[in-house]
Amino acid sequence: LLHTYSMVFDAPKGLPLPHAQDHSIPLLEGSSPEKVKPYRYPHSQKEEIEKLVEDMLKEGIIQPSKSLFSSPIILVEKKN
């Protein structure tokens, strides 16, 4: 059905709408986030990573965070 009526669906833009209940993971008392060093990536990918992050910030797909939790950036090249 999604393929048949794909013309009625827009591609997602920006962050999802707020939900009545946001997801949370309660931590054990006295615990803290694991400190993870950022992954090293080739200098040749630096400009592409910065461009992708800037574009996603402008489009509202991601937003700045001051959270103690983080995830590394991993670029995966598409097959031609």
- pLDDT, one tens digit per residue, over 16-25 is 777 788 778 8
Helix and strand totals (H; E) in the chain: 1, 0
45, 12 Cβ separation under 8 angstroms: no
Q: Is residue 78 part of a domain?
A: no
Would 52 be classed as within a structural domain? yes
Can you give the pLDDT at residue 54? 94
Structural domain of residue 57, as residue ranges? 33-73
Specify the DSSP element, H or E, that contains 53. Answer: helix 43-59
55/12: higher pLDDT: 55
User: CA nearest 38: which of 77, 1, 7, 72?
Assistant: 72
Enumerate long-range contacts of 46-53, CB under 8 Å, 24 or more apart. Answer: 48/75, 49/73, 49/75
Question: Residue 66 domain-assigned?
Answer: yes
Instruction: Please indicate, yes or no, if residue 17 is contained in any of the structural domains.
Output: no
Task: Assess if residue 51 is contained within a domain.
Answer: yes
Per-residue pLDDT tens over the stretch 27-79 = 899 988 887 787 888 888 888 999 999 998 998 888 888 888 888 888 888 88
**Residue 29 confidence (pLDDT):** 92
6 pLDDT exceeds 80?
yes
